Amino acid sequence: MKKYIFSRKAILLASITCLLLPLNSCDKDLDVTPYSYFTTANFFSNVDEAYMATLGVYESMSSMDAYGWNISLIFDADTDIQQISGTGPDDWRTIPHYQGISQTNALYNSWSKLYEGVDRANVVIERIPKMDLYTGGTQSQKDQLNRMIGEAKFLRGFYYSELVRLWGDVPFKTKSSQSGDNLKGALVDRYEIYAQIIKDMQEAALLLPEQTPTDERINKWAAKSMLARVALFAGGFSLSADGNMKRPANYKEYYKLAQKEINDVMAQNPYKLNPSYSKVFKNQCQHVLEPTENIFQVAFYNPSGNIGNASWVGNFNGPATASGVYPSNTARCLVPKPFYTSFNDADQRRDFSIATYSINNLGNKLPLLTTRQDESWTVGKWSREYQTNAVAERVYTHINWVVMRYSDLLLMRAEVENELNEGPNAIAYDAINQVRKRGFGADIQGSRIAIDLKTKGTGYTSAATVVINITGGGGTDASAAVITLASGGINTIGMLRSGDGYTSAPTVTITSTDGKGTGATATARLLTKPTTAEMSLPTGLSKDDFLKALQQERAWELSGEGIRRADLIRWGILATKLNETNTAVKLIRSNYFFPCITNFVAGKHELYPYPQNETDVNKSITRQNPKY
Tell me how many domains the chain contains: 3
Contact 302, 62 (CB under 8 A): no
Same domain, 364 and 473: no
Please, which pLDDT band fits residue 42 given cuts at 50, 70 and 90? Answer: confident
- Torsion angle (degrees, nearest 10) of CA 226, 262, 313, 63: -10
Q: Domain boundary residue among 498, 514, 529?
A: 529
pLDDT at 31: 31
Same domain, 172 and 39: yes
Please, which pLDDT band fits residue 304 given cuts at 50, 70 and 90? Answer: low
Element (H, E) at 298: strand 294-298
pLDDT at 7: 58
Please count the residues of the chain: 628
Q: Which of 482-518 are b and which e, b meaning 16 or more Cβ less than 10 Å from the residue's Cβ?
A: bbebeeebbeebbbbbbbbbbeebbebebebeeeebe
Same domain, 520 and 459: yes
Q: Is the peptide bond before 242 cis (omega within 30 degrees of 0)?
A: no
Same domain, 467 and 377: no
pLDDT at 136: 97
Mean pLDDT (the chain, rounded): 93
Contact 382, 313 (CB under 8 A): yes
Contact 260, 280 (CB under 8 A): no
pLDDT at 453 over 70: yes
Same domain, 56 and 145: yes
pLDDT at 361 over 80: yes
Please, which pLDDT band fits residue 301 given cuts at 50, 70 and 90? Answer: confident
Compute the distance between CA of residue 153 and CA of residue 169 in angstroms, rounded to an integer.
20
What is the residue-wise DSSP string for 406-471?
HHHHHHHHHHHHHHHTTS--HHHHHHHHHHHHHHTTTTSSSB-EEEEEEE--B----GGGEEEEEE
Contact 64, 70 (CB under 8 A): yes
Q: Domain boundary residue among 472, 501, 529?
A: 529
pLDDT at 363 over 70: yes
pLDDT at 119: 95
Residue 524: inside a domain, yes or no?
Answer: yes
Please, which pLDDT band fits residue 70 given cuts at 50, 70 and 90? Answer: very high
Please, which pLDDT band fits residue 308 given cuts at 50, 70 and 90? Answer: low
pLDDT digits (tens, 9 = 90+) for 401-412: 999 999 999 999
Closest CA to 100 of 614, 616, 594, 627: 627
Instruction: Give the pLDDT mean for 479-496.
Output: 97
Sign of CA dihedral 386, 391, 392, 394: positive
Closest CA to 24 of 132, 131, 123, 93: 123
pLDDT at 30: 28
pLDDT at 310: 82
Q: Which of 14-53 are b and which e, b meaning 16 or more Cβ less than 10 Å from the residue's Cβ?
A: bbbbbbbbebbeeeeeeeeeeeeebeeeebbeebebbbbb
pLDDT digits (tens, 9 = 90+) for 585-604: 999 999 999 999 999 999 99
What is the extent of the structural domain holding 388? 305-334+350-399
Instruction: Give the pLDDT mean for 398-423.
Output: 98
pLDDT digits (tens, 9 = 90+) for 44-67: 999 999 999 999 999 999 999 999
Contact 50, 150 (CB under 8 A): no
Compute the distance between CA of residue 320 and CA of residue 366 in angstroms, rounded to an integer.
10
Contact 73, 333 (CB under 8 A): yes
Q: Which amino acid is at 116?
A: E
pLDDT at 28: 31
Instruction: Give the pLDDT mean for 229-258.
Output: 98
Residues in CB range of 243: below 8 A, 6 or more apart: 603, 604, 626, 627
Instruction: Give the pLDDT mean for 376-392.
Output: 95
Same domain, 490 and 616: no
**Per-residue DSSP letter, 323:** B
Measured in Å, how far apart are the chain's first and last C-alpha atoms?
46
pLDDT at 20 over 70: no
**Per-residue DSSP letter, 70:** I
pLDDT at 25: 33
Compute the distance between CA of residue 524 and CA of residue 101 in angstroms, rounded to an integer.
53
Instruction: Give the pLDDT mean for 456-466.
Output: 96
Same domain, 54 and 176: yes
pLDDT at 15 over 70: no
pLDDT at 43: 87
pLDDT at 177: 77
pLDDT digits (tens, 9 = 90+) for 312-322: 999 999 999 99
Residue 294: inside a domain, yes or no?
Answer: no
pLDDT digits (tens, 9 = 90+) for 252-293: 999 999 999 999 999 999 999 999 999 999 999 999 999 999
Question: Coil, helix or strand for 510?
Answer: strand
Residue 282: inside a domain, yes or no?
Answer: no
Please report, for the domain that includes residue 605, its CATH number: 1.25.40.890
pLDDT digits (tens, 9 = 90+) for 203-226: 999 999 999 999 999 999 999 999
pLDDT at 176: 87
Compute the distance between CA of residue 198 and CA of residue 154 in angstroms, rounded to an integer.
9
pLDDT at 5: 78
Residue 298: inside a domain, yes or no?
Answer: no
Same domain, 495 and 617: no
Question: Coil, helix or strand for 597?
Answer: helix
Kindly report the number of other CB atoms within 10 A of residue 404's CB atom. 20
pLDDT at 36: 37
pLDDT at 541: 98
Task: Tell me the CA distances in angstroms from 498 to 278, 347, 351, 375, 524, one per residue in order.
Answer: 12, 10, 7, 21, 10
Residue 467: inside a domain, yes or no?
Answer: yes
Kindly give the residue spans of alpha helices, DSSP state H, lying in 128-188: 132-136, 139-167
pLDDT at 27 over 70: no
pLDDT at 32 over 50: no
pLDDT at 23 over 50: no
pLDDT digits (tens, 9 = 90+) for 131-170: 999 999 999 999 999 999 999 999 999 999 999 999 999 9
Question: Coil, helix or strand for 397?
Answer: strand
Same domain, 513 and 609: no
Residue 409: inside a domain, yes or no?
Answer: no
Q: Which amino acid is at 25?
A: S
pLDDT at 38: 46
pLDDT at 280: 98
pLDDT digits (tens, 9 = 90+) for 558-571: 999 999 999 999 99
Question: Which of residues 74 and 7 earns the better pLDDT score?
Answer: 74
Instruction: Give the pLDDT mean for 567-577.
Output: 98
Same domain, 76 and 157: yes
pLDDT at 366 over 90: yes
Closest CA to 573 of 214, 245, 167: 245
Kindly give the residue spans of alpha helices, DSSP state H, lying in 168-287: 190-207, 220-234, 251-268, 277-285
Element (H, E) at 551: helix 543-558
pLDDT at 518 over 80: yes
Compute the distance between CA of residue 487 and CA of residue 365 in angstroms, rounded to an integer.
23
Rounded percentage of the chain residues whose pLDDT exceeds 90: 89
Element (H, E) at 497: strand 489-497
Please, which pLDDT band fits residue 392 given cuts at 50, 70 and 90? Answer: confident
Residue 363: inside a domain, yes or no?
Answer: yes
Same domain, 379 and 463: no
Long-range contacts at 535-542 (CB < 8 A, ≥ 24 apart)? 535/433, 535/436, 535/437, 535/439, 535/440, 535/442, 536/429, 536/433, 536/436, 536/437, 537/429, 537/432, 537/433, 537/436, 539/429, 541/423, 541/424, 542/423
Q: Domain boundary residue among 477, 506, 529?
A: 529
Residue 219: inside a domain, yes or no?
Answer: no
Instruction: Give the pLDDT mean for 500-526.
Output: 97
Same domain, 55 and 140: yes
pLDDT at 1: 54
